[in-house]
């Protein structure tokens, strides 16, 4: 049969696209390479303690459709207390209360500074935008860039960052990945179907997977730009020049998590006694301690430090995270470690990075990605979300992109 839509990828964008296609009464099939749905929204339970290996926070929750979806599915969400509670450590000790205050003030000064920039300044990197500020401001910008955006501040476009939505975060005790997967439960999804080639043929497309070829009138490609740039999917004819240019102006960050499960020993720390190690190698690393009162610690870093951690492989990364955590708690935590996992999106062939960012000077790249110029072929996902919605880099943004692509395709079919 020829489907109205073949949707590539069963992450948030693919799920939204499939649901929208169904709402319009169109036939659709989702092809997913992994043996699970959710993509980068994944609640990993393999340690016996669930944790979010990818997305964990429902950002801008005052308007995020996943809050409504959680309510519909009966999945609890809670308001997150925010990002300023981490106890900063440096040189083997917590920094002084005075330095902590200077750090917070520095953060505030950066926001004030960028909010008052002239509208007509040329695009520049976040690092350049902070260049004239004091060391505390510059330090907090670097931390924020690596831990919030997954990349070094020198590589991130200020314009792109300014276009992002803000708002209160919510968390999901059962896992954001669990929520996203629940939203996909009744959709036509073929797992283990790695798409290798998409060929425009007559009025439609042939989509080749290891499991056979599927025909479609329209194709929605939701794989990350990391997967696209790596050339894992061949396009015939090839992607047009404006798309290749847009891809050149974007890259994938490397937000990276290491989960460490413990035997019940809590090292004198209470749930929520989260730390940030400012002088971890290559950048800072946060430690989320006993989230939801579970015997697990999540170490998070990003940018080149995240890439270095992924390059160590799972055992090496767990060892590094445990050593750094030991330096905070003052004893060797390895004696109580019962398991660990590296959420190494940077080295994952179905993701090829954490999430997409825009390089300085290429701030129209997200919008450009939305127009392939090939009738019936749409790119949609977190990377394209900033083109029309300021929700890039998020699960919600991916969903918006999925809905939007199908709506545009249906309009074009009419």
Ligand X SMILES: Cc1cc2nc3c(=O)[nH]c(=O)nc-3n(C[C@H](O)[C@H](O)[C@H](O)COP(=O)(O)OP(=O)(O)OC[C@H]3O[C@@H](n4cnc5c(N)ncnc54)[C@H](O)[C@@H]3O)c2cc1C
Calculate the CA 173 to chain-centre distance.
19
Residue 411 buriedness (CB in 10 A; 0-12 / 13-18 / 19+): exposed
Residue 16 · residue 222 · CB < 8 Å = no
Residue 334 CB contacts under 8 Å (≥ 6 apart), including other chains = 322, 326
Candidate residues 9, 106, 153, 387; the one interacting with ligand X per rule CB under 6 A: 9
Check residue 5 for interaction with ligand X (CB under 6 A).
Answer: no
Q: Hey, what's the torsion of the CAs at 279, 282, 283, 289, to 10 degrees? A: -80
Check residue 344 for interaction with ligand X (CB under 6 A).
Answer: no
By beta-carbon proximity to ligand X, the closer residue of 26 and 34 is: 34
Stretch that binds ligand X, among 4-12, 117-125, 153-161, 313-321 (CB under 6 A): 4-12
Residue 210 · residue 194 · CB < 8 Å = yes
395: closest CA among 18, 57, 81, 9?
A: 57
| Residue whose structure tokens are 């999540």 | 298
Rg of the chain in Å (alpha carbons): 21
By beta-carbon proximity to ligand X, the closer residue of 11 and 340 is: 11
| Contacts to ligand X from residues 176-205, by CB under 6 A | 194-195
| Contacts to ligand X from residues 82-101, by CB under 6 A | none
Q: How far is CA 311 from CA 4, 308, 315, 317, 321, in A?
A: 41, 5, 11, 8, 14
| Contacts to ligand X from residues 215-254, by CB under 6 A | 222-224, 227, 232-233
| Contacts to ligand X from residues 370-389, by CB under 6 A | 381-382
Check residue 257 for interaction with ligand X (CB under 6 A).
Answer: yes
Opening angle at CA 44, ends 40 and 45, nearest 5: 165
What's the min distance (Å) between Cβ of 142 and ligand X?
18
What's the min distance (Å) between Cβ of 360 and ligand X?
21
Check residue 333 for interaction with ligand X (CB under 6 A).
Answer: no
By beta-carbon proximity to ligand X, the closer residue of 30 and 129 is: 30
> Count of residues for the chain?
414
* Strand duo 195-201 + 204-209: pairing: antiparallel
By beta-carbon proximity to ligand X, the closer residue of 136 and 176 is: 176
> How many angstroms separate the CA atoms of 116 and 175, rounded?
37
Candidate residues 34, 86, 146, 366; the one interacting with ligand X per rule CB under 6 A: 34
SS3 235: strand
What's the min distance (Å) between Cβ of 266 and ligand X?
25
> How many angstroms separate the CA atoms of 323 and 327, rounded?
6
Residue 36 · residue 191 · CB < 8 Å = yes
What's the min distance (Å) between Cβ of 39 and ligand X?
2
What's the min distance (Å) between Cβ of 370 and ligand X?
13
Candidate residues 28, 56, 220, 362; the one interacting with ligand X per rule CB under 6 A: 56
What's the min distance (Å) between Cβ of 9 and ligand X?
3
Candidate residues 19, 40, 103, 217; the one interacting with ligand X per rule CB under 6 A: 40
| Residue whose structure tokens are 């999925």 | 402
Candidate residues 11, 204, 386, 390; the one interacting with ligand X per rule CB under 6 A: 11
Candidate residues 6, 18, 29, 31; the one interacting with ligand X per rule CB under 6 A: 31
Candidate residues 41, 130, 172, 337; the one interacting with ligand X per rule CB under 6 A: 41
Residue 398 · residue 11 · CB < 8 Å = yes
Stretch that binds ligand X, among 8-16, 111-119, 282-290, 317-325 (CB under 6 A): 8-16
| Residue whose structure tokens are 């979806």 | 69
By beta-carbon proximity to ligand X, the closer residue of 42 and 89 is: 42
What's the min distance (Å) between Cβ of 206 and ligand X?
15
Calculate the CA 406 to chain-centre distance.
22
Candidate residues 170, 394, 405, 409; the one interacting with ligand X per rule CB under 6 A: 394
Q: Contact positions toward ligand X, by CB under 6 A?
A: 8-14, 31-34, 39-41, 54-57, 59, 194-195, 222-224, 227, 232-233, 255, 257, 343, 345, 350-351, 354-355, 381-382, 393-396, 398
């Amino acid at each position: 049969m020829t489907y109205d839509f073949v949707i590539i990828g069963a992450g948030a964008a693919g799920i939204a696209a499939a649901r929208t296609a169904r709402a319009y009464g169109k036939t659709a099939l989702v092809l997913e390479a992994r043996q699970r749905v959710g993509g980068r929204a994944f609640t990993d339970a393999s340690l016996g303690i669930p944790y979010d290996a990818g997305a964990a926070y429902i950002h801008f929750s005052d308007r995020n459709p996943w809050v409504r979806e959680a309510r519909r599915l009966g999945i609890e969400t809670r308001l997150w207390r925010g990002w300023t509670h981490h106890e900063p450590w440096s040189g083997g000790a917590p920094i002084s209360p005075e330095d902590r205050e200077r750090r917070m003030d520095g953060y505030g000064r950066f926001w004030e500074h960028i909010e008052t920039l002239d509208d007509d300044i040329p695009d520049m990197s976040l690092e350049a935008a902070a260049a004239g500020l004091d060391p505390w401001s510059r330090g907090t910008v670097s931390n924020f860039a690596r831990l919030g955006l997954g990349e070094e501040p020198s590589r991130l476009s200020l314009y792109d960052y300014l276009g992002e939505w803000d708002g209160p975060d919510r968390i999901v005790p059962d896992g954001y990945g669990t929520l996203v997967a629940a939203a996909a439960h009744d959709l036509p999804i073929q797992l283990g179907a790695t798409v290798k080639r998409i060929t425009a043929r007559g009025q439609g497309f042939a989509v080749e997977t290891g499991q056979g070829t599927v025909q479609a009138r329209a194709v929605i490609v939701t794989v990350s730009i990391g997967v696209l740039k790596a050339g894992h999917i061949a396009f015939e004819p090839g992607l047009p020049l404006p798309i290749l240019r847009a891809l050149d102006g974007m890259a994938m960050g490397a937000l990276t998590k290491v989960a460490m499960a413990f035997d019940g020993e809590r090292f004198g720390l209470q749930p929520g006694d989260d730390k940030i190690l400012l002088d971890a190698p290559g950048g800072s690393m946060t430690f989320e301690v006993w989230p939801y009162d579970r015997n697990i610690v999540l170490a998070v870093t990003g940018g080149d430090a995240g890439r270095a951690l992924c390059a160590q492989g799972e055992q090496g990364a767990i060892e590094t995270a445990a050593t750094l955590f030991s330096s905070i708690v003052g004893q060797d935590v390895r004696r109580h470690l019962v398991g660990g996992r590296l959420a190494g999106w940077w080295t994952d062939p179905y993701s090829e990075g954490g999430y997409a960012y825009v390089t300085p000077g290429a701030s129209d790249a997200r919008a450009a990605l939305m127009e392939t110029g090939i009738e019936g072929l749409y790119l949609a996902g977190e990377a394209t979300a900033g083109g029309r919605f300021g929700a890039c880099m998020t699960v919600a943004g991916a969903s918006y992109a999925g809905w939007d692509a199908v709506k545009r395709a249906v309009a074009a079919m009419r």
